[in-house]
A and B are shown apart, each in its own frame.
Chain A
Amino acid sequence: MGLMRLIGKRLLLIPISLFILVSLSFLLLELMPGNPAITIAGDFASDAEIEKIEESLGLNDPLGARYLSYLGSVVRGDLGRSFFSDQPVLGELRERLPATMELVFLSLIVAAIVGLFLGVLGAYYRGRKVDKATRGTVTLFQSIPDFLMALLLIFFLFYLWSVAPAPVGRLGFSGVSVEPITGFLLVDTLVAGDLNAFVLAGQHLLLPVLALGIVYAAYFGKTARSTMATALDSTQVEFARACGLSEWKVVYYAFLQARTPILTYGAILFGALIGGAAIIETIFSWPGAGSWALTAILSLDIPVIQGFILAAGFVTITVFLLLDVLILLLDPRVRL
């Protein structure tokens, strides 16, 4: 069947894509100004101290040798250790990537629901008051920076109304600990049967998910508005209407046409948000991969940056593969 062949082909492409990604990022990081040894030792370190650190990090080896040794260890599943914490990069990734993915995944669901609602409503009532109102809302959402949205939500929902907990990580200072299985707290707490921890995790997700969800709802809203407007104008929708189908069904027929570009947009946003959620993670002290990578970039922690790029690339490629499979399953015309 065509589907299995396509998946097989795409799975084979993943290592190649990752190889190109690792090589490019390695070279680009090489071009980055600054010396990690100085950052580690501090501005007042003596030349000898810096020399020693450079030696221990292997920074003095020729570029080719370092590239090959990095590539070799990546293939063996070793992403190196952080220059600063000396922790294995892979171990940190395993903790932090699920935290980010949980946040991004839920945010995109909120964004999709809010955005689709606004976009479909606007497209259906095109040119009328409802359309103007939804478009105004979308523009408003889009023009508020995510960090400002986060601060506003914290101010109102935590500080003034105490609806949400303080913005301090995934479980706050509750002392609750959850055995990591998937790394997704909502899943892990349910698996452990710990309902209290589940609620606690949900409460802590509320604000960051809302902040990202509302801001990114604007993107879904815009895409949905334009693709649905085109779909609602199509002959197919007119024919459905002429056959006497209910308006709900007619709008659903239009949505069947419009959903592919909307899904594609969602996948692109997912990839972008793996790193793009860094500011929100920082504001909410979220132990995620984005803020971790941001810190690493500021301190020239090259193994961490490399590890993050590799992980984000892997997630993005996987999401795109899933997207292609999904589109294939949803649209009989693409099946060959």
Chain B
Amino acid sequence: MSETKLLDVRGVVANYDSPRGVVKAVNAVSFSADRKEMVGIVGESGCGKSATIRALLGLIRPPGKVVEGEVLLDGQDLLKMTKKEIRQVRGDKIGFVAQNPFAALNPIYKIHKQFHNVIRAHEGRSSSRSTRKRAVDMLTAVGIPGPERILDGYAHELSGGMAQRVVIALALILDPELIVADEPTTALDVTIQRQILDLLRRKTVDEGRSLLLVTHDLGVVAQYCDRVVVMYAGKVVETGLVSEVFARPAHPYTLGLLQSVPRRGLKVRTLGGRVPSLIDYPPGCAFADRCVFAIDRCREDIPELRPAFPSGRGVREVRCHVNEQEVFADAAVDR
């Protein structure tokens, strides 16, 4: 690990004002990502994973607001930037890959025009010929055959996989250091999923970028990511190397997520209950009501992130009052 990480997110808090009260969508979230590293952010719907990446892209719109924290990219705090500065960072230093390519691409403009607009937004006047050349090169690099023809067509003429490749090419056209992918394969079928993830890994590892992969698919995380950030109710509940976390889950929620994935020879368990309201945050651990390990303290005292399994590889943190050995022992029962 190098001294300065490419991305360092520290204590980010993002709130949404709603008629019923303030929704704490992102609650003191911290994590980091290094070059050549793929970091998975997992959690169920509404856990704040999408809001987290939007916070670091400056994409949280009113009634939402980032109220605290730092997002350091190459040592520069994105949250302190003016609107104009953060706009220049988006696309140029951070590439965003959306979930559904057909929803993300502009349906009215030809593909070339969309590349042209992105390049022009950052580099000012550019000739149509030069942007076209760059778009062709980038489309080729993301594995699109016949890029010239694609550039003169529209998004709706593409297949799902091709459309997502075009989105990736748009995200990479200005050579960003960080790629943020929001469920990039959820809208695609399984065979295409693999191709897209392989492509993202190549673009990250081979070209020295960093990738944040938001997903609820643990299989994808296990197979592709180096580290994982597990989120629950707006907070990070566990982080660590994927190999460590998946082998020895320290948080009961992580354990629950792992057990809910069907695997041969293992019993599938479901997590009962629902995510608590983010408006009336419980006085103790947000997961306590669904947790089989919960003790009295869990309902009174909000747990802090603390180191777990100190003997293991890499930095490992968990937000839980229960001893991780106890949680892991339960995971071992299934084997």
Give the most central of A239, A245, A246: most B CB within 10 Å: A239
Of B88, B89, B104, B108, the residue contacting A239 (CB under 8 A) is: B104
Please report the number of residue pairs spanning A and B whose Cβ atoms sit closer than 8 angstroms.
78
Chain A residues contacting B104 (CB-CB under 8 Å) are 235-236, 238-239
Contact A243 B170 (CB under 8 A): yes
Tell me whether A242 and B107 are in contact (CB under 8 A): no
Q: Are B92 and A244 in contact (CB under 8 A)?
A: yes
Residue B32 is within 8 A (CB to CB) of chain A in the complex: no
Within 8 A of B (CB), among A278-336: 330-333
Complex CA gap A60/B122 in Å reads 79
- B259 beta carbon closer than 8 Å to chain A: no
B171 interfacial by beta-carbon distance below 8 Å: yes
B98 close to A235 (CB less than 8 A): yes
CB distance from A205 to the nearest CB of B (A): 34
- Cβ-based interface call for A234 (8 A): yes
Does A244 lie within 8 Å of B100, measured CB to CB? no
A223-271 contacts to B, CB under 8 A, are 234-236, 238-247, 249, 253, 256-257
B62 at the interface (CB under 8 A from A): yes
B62 CB to closest chain A CB (Å) equals: 6
- CB neighbours of B91 from chain A (8 A): 242-245
What's the nearest-Cβ distance from chain B to residue A227, in Å? 15
Do A239 and B121 touch across chains, with their CB atoms under 8 A apart? no
Interface extent on A, as a size class? 20 to 34
A333 CA to B91 CA in the complex, in Å? Answer: 27
Q: List A25-57 residues whose CB lies under 8 Å from chain B.
A: none
**Chain B residues whose C-beta falls within 8 Å of the C-beta of A244 in the assembled complex:** 87-92, 118, 121-122, 174
Distance (whole angstroms) from the CB of A148 to the closest CB of chain B: 36
| CB nearest to B90 among chain A residues | A244
Contacts A238-B98, A242-B96, A332-B154 given: A253-B106 contact, CB under 8 Å?
A: yes
The answer to whether A245 and B107 have CB atoms under 8 Å apart is no
Secondary structure at the A interface, as helix, strand, loop or mixed, is helix
Are the CB atoms of B59 and A236 closer together than 8 Å? Answer: no
Min C-beta distance of B147 to chain A, whole Å: 19
In residues 7-33 of chain A, which contact B (Cβ within 8 Å)?
none
B105 CB–A CB distance under 8 Å:
yes
The reply on A128 being an interface residue by CB < 8 A is yes
Interface string of B149-174 (1 = CB under 8 A from A): 00000101000000000010011001
Are A245's CB and B121's CB within 8 A?
yes
A236 touches B103 (CB 8 A): yes
Partner of B154, one of A241, A257, A333: A333
Q: How many of chain B's residues have a CB under 8 angstroms from any CB in A?
A: 33
Nearest CB of chain A from residue B148's CB, rounded to whole Å: 18
A127 close to B (CB within 8 Å): yes
The smallest beta-carbon distance between A135 and chain B, in angstroms, is 16
Main secondary structure of the interface of B (DSSP, over half): mixed
Q: Is B57 positioned at the interface, with any CB of A under 8 Å from its CB?
A: yes
A238 and B121 in contact, given A256-B106, A333-B154 (Cβ under 8 angstroms): no
Contacting A245 at CB < 8 Å: which of B83, B94, B118, B167? B118
CB of B117 within 8 Å of the partner chain: yes
Q: Which residue of B lies closest to A330 (CB)?
A: B108
A240 to B115, CA, bound (A): 11
Q: Tell me the complex Cα distance, A242–B109, Å.
A: 17
Contacts of B92 in A (CB 8 A): 244
Assembled-state Cα–Cα distance A256/B154 (Å): 15
Taking the closest CB of chain A, its distance from the CB of B109, in whole angstroms, is: 8
- Interface presence of B210 (CB below 8 A): no
Q: Which residues of B contact A127 (CB under 8 A)?
A: 62-63
Residues of chain A lying within 8 A (CB to CB) of residue B63: 127
Interface residues of B in 149-204 (CB under 8 A from A): 154, 156, 167, 170-171, 174
Expressed in whole angstroms, the minimum distance between the Cβ of B32 and any Cβ of chain A is 21
Contact A242 B121 (CB under 8 A): no
Q: How far is the CA of A46 from the CA of B167 in the complex (A)?
A: 84
Closest CB in chain B relative to A326 CB, distance in Å: 13
Whether the Cβ atoms of A241 and B90 lie closer than 8 Å is yes
Q: Which residues of B contact A239 (CB under 8 A)?
A: 96, 98, 103-105, 167
Give the docked Cα–Cα distance between A246 and B109 (Å): 17
Instruction: Assess the B170–A332 pair: CB atoms within 8 A.
Output: no
B99 within 8 A of A: yes
Closest CB of chain A to B187's CB: distance in Å? 10
Instruction: Find chain A residues with CB under 8 A from B103 CB.
Output: 234-236, 239
Asked if residues B96 and A243 are in contact (CB atoms below 8 Å), the reply is yes
B117→A249 contact, CB < 8 A: yes
7 inter-chain pairs at a CB distance below 8 angstroms, sorted by A residue, are A239-B104, A240-B106, A242-B90, A242-B94, A247-B87, A256-B109, A332-B107
Chain A interfacial positions (CB closer than 8 Å to B): 126-128, 234-236, 238-247, 249, 253, 256-257, 330-333
